[in-house]
Amino acid sequence: MYGTPAHGTPMYGTPAHGTPVYGTPAHGTPVQGTPAHGIPVHRAAAVRGGHPQHDEGGARPVPYGGRRGRTLAVDPERTDEQGPFVPGPRHEDEPEAEVPAGRGGLGRTLAGVAAAAVATVLAVVVAGQVTGQEEPAAAPRAAGEAAERAVDESSASRSDDRITPTRPVPRKPVVLTYEQLMTHQFPIDPELKGSGAFEAVQGFQKAPGKGRLIRYRVDVEKGIGLDPKLFADAVQKTLNDPRSWAGDGAMTFERISSGEPEFVITLASPGTTGVWCRKSGLDTTIDNVSCDSASTERVMINAFRWARGSSTFGPKAMHAYRQMLINHEVGHRLGHNHVTCRTPGALAPVMQQQTKSLNIDGVRCRPNPWVNPGS
């Protein structure tokens, strides 16, 4: 009750029924003396520690379920016969109000903030009533808005009211098998000239068969971007295949990374391959091919051909082309020379230069990677 009533006289703290506490009553006589029960109003207010005394005919303060010192917001529209409801202090033996389940620590914190905001505003209002100063009407509204915001924020922070975003299940990386990798083409510059520095592929692969033991090492030129292990595995598997040079049991191949090998199968860039092949009087730059540099320890495999294949086999036969490339160049190291196909439509001999052509002197043959394809 703030402001001026209908008859123009200011009113301070006058309830809807009963005797006005301060100001001018309905008939214009100020009530500042002794009320009906003989206790001066201002003195009664002082006895209550600064809070105004209620009329004896009105409602008594009712204990509030919060902690001591908290004040409950007064509903300005509650004007029943007992007058406005004003909470009183809470005794220490009263149970503490429970926070609804599910709110957690954040809900309790926000509820406390709202209660503190309401208590602060009401404390200012009550102080204004005691000192006789008028407070702006926006103060109760501010307290109510602060409480509503706190409740809304508390509700919004509840985990059971929100949709928790689900994290996408990470996909497992696809691991290709040896056979799958051997069918893939890899990017490489056909004119690439590497550093010329080689590195042995570490590891040991025991010879699986009987016959003469041939130990070899695998080197790969540094920085050419091709998988050394894949190349080393391909060499060991190809040479010891029953269709290869070890197929008749006369020899078996074992890969080492230290010690003295009989030869070194080397994967190198086109430029480096050309350098090593020239040491044995061979020119591999014309068709970008490989060679067995017989005057050295190295059997040179051109990295461009290993990565891209040839038009004679095509991109769909990369695995077979790589097997032919290994068998053909190691065949030279074992003492075999070039052979050409003589029967049209037959499988080309593994020692034919199949990278260059499958059509020799008008006789067209089919690509073949094996020494003994029928085994």
Residue-level pLDDT at 298: 98
Q: Average pLDDT in the 133-154 region?
A: 49
**Is 0.85 topped by the overall pTM?**
no
Q: Tell me: do 226 and 150 sit in the same domain.
A: no
Residue-level pLDDT at 314: 97
- The 10 Å Cβ neighbour count of residue 96 is 9
**In the chain, what are the helix, strand and coil shares in percent, each to the nearest 5?**
30, 10, 60
pLDDT tens-place string over residues 1-18: 444 444 444 444 444 444
Quote the number of domains for the chain: 2
Measured distance CA(283)–CA(97) in Å, rounded = 95
Q: How confident is the model at residue 353 (pLDDT cuts 50, 70, 90)?
A: very high
Measured distance CA(27)–CA(157) in Å, rounded = 54
Q: How confident is the model at residue 168 (pLDDT cuts 50, 70, 90)?
A: confident
Which range (53-57, 168-172, 203-207) has the least confidence? 53-57
Q: Average pLDDT in the 209-222 region?
A: 97
Residue-level pLDDT at 173: 86
**CB-based contacts of 70: which residues, under 8 Å, 6+ apart?**
64, 87, 90, 115, 119
Q: Tell me: do 47 and 127 sit in the same domain.
A: yes
Q: Tell me: do 225 and 79 sit in the same domain.
A: no
Residue-level pLDDT at 114: 53
Residue-level pLDDT at 250: 94
Q: Average pLDDT in the 324-346 region?
A: 97
**CB-based contacts of 13: which residues, under 8 Å, 6+ apart?**
1, 20, 21, 22, 23, 52, 129
What Cα–Cα distance (Å) separates residue 4 from each residue in 13, 14, 23, 151, 196?
12, 11, 11, 34, 102
Q: Tell me: do 209 and 334 sit in the same domain.
A: yes
CATH number of residue 239's parent domain: 3.40.390
Higher pLDDT, 310 or 14: 310
Does the pLDDT value for residue 26 go beyond 90? no
Place of tokens 């006369």: 250
Q: Tell me: do 295 and 195 sit in the same domain.
A: yes
Q: How confident is the model at residue 172 (pLDDT cuts 50, 70, 90)?
A: confident
Q: Average pLDDT in the 49-58 region?
A: 43
Answer with the one of 111, 136, 161 that is the final residue of a domain: 161
2: in domain? no
Q: How confident is the model at residue 254 (pLDDT cuts 50, 70, 90)?
A: very high
Q: Tell me: do 157 and 192 sit in the same domain.
A: no
User: Residues, the chain, total?
Assistant: 375
Q: Tell me: do 187 and 134 sit in the same domain.
A: no
Q: Tell me: do 128 and 244 sit in the same domain.
A: no
Q: Tell me: do 260 and 313 sit in the same domain.
A: yes
Q: Tell me: do 85 and 18 sit in the same domain.
A: yes
CB 153 within 8 A of CB 107: no
Measured distance CA(272)–CA(192) in Å, rounded = 9
Q: How confident is the model at residue 264 (pLDDT cuts 50, 70, 90)?
A: very high
pLDDT tens-place string over residues 59-109: 444 443 444 444 444 444 444 444 444 455 444 444 444 444 444 455 555
Structure tokens at 143: 């307290």
What residues make up the domain containing 61? 11-161
